[in-house]
Amino acid sequence: MKPFFKISLMCMDFLNIAAQIEVLNEEFDGYHMDIMDGHFCKNITLSPDIVKAIGAIAKKPMDIHLMTTTPNDWIDSCAAAGAQIISPHAETINSDAFRIINKIKGKGCKAGVTLNPATPLTYCREYLGKIDYLTIMTVDVGFAGQPFIPEMLDKIREAKKFREMNNLNFKIMIDGSCNKNTFGKLHLAGADGYVLGSSGLFSLDPDLRKACKKAKEIFMEETGVKL
């Protein structure tokens, strides 16, 4: 499987959104859009209105990461705003996980589920066969720039093994500190996709197009995978 990259828009320059989206449309595979409610994690970032505004110029799929206590309250508005993928947290849906996943797919979106670092894979094992993406957080939720949690490598290996043993098709995406220091380890553990934020993209060069080129070069150097 060819690696894929989604860009964390909470890390972008909000004074130059349109110009940055124009560059990113040509460079990567999609947009990772964090919606936080200030309750599930103590921060507030993007919103369905921003998803709708960016969707008017985005040429790649928008993946909504719902860091919200009640994800059911956000699915309709995110789908209406143009989301192609919606990924709530397993910690918030296990009382009605199958109903939530079916609702997301009923809106014409692909369904994902996200695991916090301290949440084991077994927490969502029963519905891994119904999702398109499993996002494994390798930092605690809420804020960019946190240090990588190395214990998550075992969870990635476990998810890959479980997928193979059960002949499932979900993609394993990593969110948190995907950069030069971690690309090689994440690739070897079994990651399929990577969310690039501050350390993996935006801090590499003031010129975003040059930063994109550097990010790809770094990934290829650290993993040996040709993009």
* Tens place of pLDDT per residue across the chain (227 aa): 799 999 999 899 989 999 999 999 999 999 999 998 777 767 777 788 989 999 999 999 999 999 898 999 999 999 999 999 999 999 999 899 999 999 999 999 999 999 999 999 999 999 999 999 999 999 987 666 678 999 999 999 999 999 999 999 999 999 999 999 999 999 999 999 999 999 999 999 999 999 999 999 999 999 999 99
Per-residue pLDDT reduced to its tens digit, 43-57: 777 788 989 999 999
Sequence-ordered list of residues with C-beta below 8 angstroms from that of 96, at least 6 positions apart, any chain = 72
The DSSP string of the chain is ---EEEEEGGGS-TTSHHHHHHHHHHHSSEEEEEEE-SSSSS-----HHHHHHHHTT--S-EEEEEE-S-THHHHHHHHHHT-SEEEEBHHHHTTSHHHHHHHHHHTT-EEEEEE-TTS-GGGGGGGGGG-SEEEEESS-TT-SSPPP-TTHHHHHHHHHHHHHHTT---EEEEES--STTTHHHHHHHT--EEEE-IIIIITS-SSHHHHHHHHHHHHHHHH----
List the chain domain ranges. Answer: 4-223
pLDDT value, residue 143:
60
pTM given for the model: 0.94
Considering the segment(s) 4-223 as one domain, its CATH architecture is: Alpha-Beta Barrel (3.20)
Instruction: Tell me which amino acid residue 120 is.
Output: P
Active site residues: 34, 175
